[in-house]
Amino acid sequence: MKHDKEKYIPTLTYTSLLKEISKVRSYGKKKYGSYDDWKTTEVIQHLNAAVRHIRDVIDGEDFDQGSGYLHLSHAACNIMFEIERFLNIDEDRVTIDGRIFNTCFKCEKQLEPEDYPYGRCLSCRIKREEQMKKERLELEKMRKR
């Protein structure tokens, strides 16, 4: 007799969710240049993005204007990132495929312990934030046109 009562049942996850998240991930690769860029984004940025997408749905907008995909798909993707991060963090170090990384993803400097959750050193996080501010300003300009 097979004892699988304790195992998760993958068929309980709808394929529509997987397809939608895959579309958003492909869009993200085109936009950010990497499938792994999410690992260097701070937790709060993903949570804020998820809430913004959910708020857009509540406000009556189903589709993201930038990507054309469902806001709920974007929210699910951001939540997926943080579930993955939560379940694969070991002693506050960023992990990828079970391997611990304690060097910056961008410049490969040794990280300080307080930088482990971010995966980037402070100077690279500041540069990333500046880049994101520029991108937000460009998006705002495009929306006004």
**Is residue 27 helix, strand or coil?**
helix
Round to whole Å and give the CA distance between 108 and 91: 20
Question: What pLDDT does residue 98 have?
Answer: 47
Question: What pLDDT does residue 89 have?
Answer: 56
Rounded mean pLDDT, 13-24: 95
Question: What pLDDT does residue 1 have?
Answer: 65
Question: What pLDDT does residue 59 have?
Answer: 96
Rounded mean pLDDT, 25-51: 88
Rounded mean pLDDT, 8-29: 92
C-beta neighbour count of 54 within 10 angstroms: 17
**Chain-wide mean pLDDT for the chain?**
83
Structure confidence by residue, pLDDT tens digits, 59-92: 999 999 999 999 999 999 999 998 888 776 544 4
Residue burial 97-127, b: 16+ Cβ < 10 Å; e: rest:
eeeeeeebbeeeeebeeebbebbbbeebbee
Question: What pLDDT does residue 69 have?
Answer: 97
Structure confidence by residue, pLDDT tens digits, 94-112: 554 444 567 777 787 888 8
**Is residue 70 helix, strand or coil?**
strand
Name the nearest CA neighbour of 116 among 78, 89, 76. 89
Range list of H helices, the chain = 15-32, 43-58, 71-87, 122-144
Phi, psi of 91 (to 5 degrees): 55, 45
Rounded mean pLDDT, 3-12: 78
The whole-model pTM stands at: 0.61
Question: Percentage of the chain with pLDDT > 90?
Answer: 37
